[in-house]
Amino acid sequence: MSKPDKLDEIFHLQQALNLRIGVDMVNMTEEERKKWMLNYCRAMSQEIAELTDSVPWKWWAKYQKFDKQNARVEVVDLLHFLISLAQVLEMTPEDLYKTYTKKHQVNLARQDSGYAIKDADDSKHI
């Protein structure tokens, strides 16, 4: 018995979670998509702040500790919202994977060239 693809399963779980709170990505209007894009961007900003709080940022303060367990939870919270953003944009797991691999190639080319000059068109083909 084969296991489902992990990314497919994550997308499925996130869709079910969103439906549970009344957010139906499949039947959204364009206005709703804009609203939820902004909602999820704001939510991710908050999760980034919470992730940052897991790391001792006061290098001079001895009392602060690195909370690795909480940092892992915050990364997963970010993933929840990131997958929701992809779904708002009507991306499938396959779309996300293909776009990631194409952008990865752009990033490699940028590193190889030293990324000395910004080319606004180097991602237009993605």
pLDDT digits (tens, 9 = 90+) for 89-113: 999 999 999 999 999 999 998 898 8
**DSSP designation for 5:** P
Q: Would the pTM count as exceeding 0.85?
A: yes
Residues 27-33, mean pLDDT to the nearest whole number? 97
Nearest C-alpha neighbor of 71 from the set 90, 89, 47: 47
Per-residue model confidence (pLDDT) at position 52: 93
Domain spans of the chain, in order of start: 6-91
Per-residue model confidence (pLDDT) at position 12: 97
The fold adopted by the segment(s) 6-91 is all-alpha NTP pyrophosphatase fold (1.10.4010)
**Contact at 8 Å (CB) between 75 and 51?**
yes
67: left (phi over 0), alpha (psi -120 to 50) or beta: beta
pLDDT digits (tens, 9 = 90+) for 41-88: 999 999 999 999 999 888 788 888 899 999 999 999 999 999 999 999
Count other Cβ atoms within 10 Å, centred on residue 81.
19
